A and B are shown apart, each in its own frame.
Chain A
Amino acid sequence: MISNIAAIYANSGRKVCLLDLDLSAPSLYAYFNKTPRVWLNDVLSGEARIEDCLLDLSGELGVKGQLFLALSSPGKEDIFNFESRQDRKWQLAALRRFLSLKEELLSKLSFDYVLLDTSPGIHYWSINALVAADILILMSKFMDMDIQGTRKMVGNIYDALNRFGSKSFVVLNRVEGSGFTFRGGTPVSLYEADKDRAKKREDEVGMSVGLPVMASIPCYCDIQFDPHEFLFAFKNPSHPFSKTLQSIAGRIEEVF
């Protein structure tokens, strides 16, 4: 979702930076099929500057604005190095570098948005990413197990961060309702056709986890089972999935 949102912002003329802060299980390098010369790990270790690590995808994607990527290394050594090898002093120094890096991206390099992709678990660097962000979006599936895990996470982390001004939301992913019905000859998704039901479900989840639900994304088979899905919402802007992501992008801007 975050890659699609980044592309939506970039295509609306914004200068966007997407950082892969899932240091223990990086995935954006595979999603974008890129191997940079300098990884984000090198920047956080103090061995490189953020400018050296940024990949400019603007021309390649043909967005109206600018989209830059900073990728986290999938190398076993690099992951182990960050997760468990370094002592607390080293981790604190890396955290300071990360916080000044964020400031540099926004003030010196004039990015409109810095999007941080991280895992939902209680890992040291996931928490650091959440702390650095102004708006937190927690993706959850509409399943008891996921909802329960989300509730636990909110109690452990998000509540504490919200007390200091963070704004947190849940986005329900892969909800039912991707089938189509016809209204006046026009195909409409079942999700769109029964918004009341969706709203009720969002309210229930919101009450249960203790965070407002920003949106629900129906599960679409053409995306779910596409092995080569890549920036679908950017490439297919009229698809209902893309419309939902456009609306999420708009909601995030409203919250700002």
Chain B
Amino acid sequence: MILPEAFPGSSTLIQGSFRGSLILIGPPGSGKSIYCKQFLCNAVQSGDPGIYISTGESVAKVEEGMALLGFDVDRFLKSGLLHLVDLQPIVSEKPARTKFGISGWLKGPNSTQPVLDIERVIEDAVTGLGKPAVVLDSLTTLLLRTPESELLRLVQSLLVRLKRLGASSIFSLTSGNYSEHFVNVLRSLFDGVLELKVDESTGGLKRLLRIFSLKGTQHTSDWVRFSISDRGISIEEQLKTRCAMCSKPVGAEPFTFEVSGEMLHFDSRDCLITYRKLKSVHGDVFR
């Protein structure tokens, strides 16, 4: 039996298992929402109940995005395994097929206390679901009306609740101009921090992911390239190359060294230097 991934790419990037809370930070267009959808689709497909709380996209858009990843949204909505929660700040153009949500809270009667409303809606959604997978995409939109300190309180309270439920979760945040205090505290509330970035320096667009921290696991912290296709998020082939010295997966920008016409890849400068030292003293025997 193949165990489902803890999060997209985790089977390649970490040693051991992980279940807990993650904050996913990246600039606009780096793939945060798709990553979140992939995470939730994987969880639901493996039998866990899933809750997708959308603050930026309409629920209809979320459904479309999941369908594009080859996910049978209708089937899982009907089975009650998938729940979509509409927390958009403005009213959805298309009515959502969800029993949870306070779409339009920015202009609604409770807009002065959106945190309380959001907490209540999320509590309603997660109640009685066992060990769910939960996505909140994204915290950035909530900051439109919620002060940083209030949002930290909301996140902390939700994470405590989710932990009690044994949930795995990803909350996303668009990187931006927040206070240092807010970002530091926010990062510390989660069990792990994932970062995304986009690299256009070589002409094309490269999407990169790295695990900045992940409690209780051994993992690579290198940036690794990932791609998005109709089969979802996949860590690119190059990552399946292993370091010639330590055997760990090689990151997006490997160190290379040519030996007898063969290009060897290394995950770090230290490994490359160690290899060259060993080769220089052991000679050709060392391969």
Which residues of A come within 8 Å of B, CB atoms?
Answer: 88, 95-96, 99-100, 124, 127-128, 130-132, 156-157, 160-161, 163-166
Contact = CB atoms under 8 A, between A and B. Distances in A.
A161 B281 contact: yes
A127 B283 CA distance: 12
Nearest to B272: A164
B281 to A, nearest CB: 5
Contacts of A131: 274, 277-278, 281
Closest 8 CB pairs of A and B: A160-B280, A131-B277, A164-B277, A127-B281, A164-B273, A160-B281, A157-B281, A131-B278
A127 B245 CA distance: 16
Contact of B245 (A99, A164, A166): A99
A124 B286 CA distance: 11
A95 B274 CA distance: 11
B164 interface: no
A160 B285 CA distance: 16
A163 B273 CA distance: 10
Nearest to A130: B281
Contacts of A165: 273
Interface string B265-276: 000000001101
Given A95-B278, A127-B278, A127-B281, 6 more contacts: A96-B247, A156-B281, A157-B281, A161-B277, A161-B281, A164-B273
A164 B245 CA distance: 16
Contacts of A163: 280
B246 interface: yes
Given A164-B273, A165-B273, A128 B278 contact: yes
B282 interface: yes
- B interface: dominant SS: helix
Given A164-B273, A165-B273, A96 B246 contact: yes
Given A132-B274, A165-B273, A100 B281 contact: no
A128 B277 CA distance: 9
Interface centre among B246, B274, B277, B285 (most CB of A within 10 A): B277
A161 B245 contact: no
Contacts of B277: 131, 160-161, 164, 166
Contacts of B245: 96, 99
Interface string B218-255: 00000000000000000000000000011100000000
A131 B282 CA distance: 10
Contacts of B282: 124, 127
A99 B246 contact: yes
A130 B281 CA distance: 10
B269 to A, nearest CB: 10
B163 to A, nearest CB: 25
Interface in B106-144: none
B279 to A, nearest CB: 9
A100 B276 CA distance: 17
B246 A161 contact: no
A131 B281 CA distance: 9
A157 B282 CA distance: 9
Interface centre among B247, B276, B278, B285 (most CB of A within 10 A): B278
B257 to A, nearest CB: 12
Contacts of B276: 164
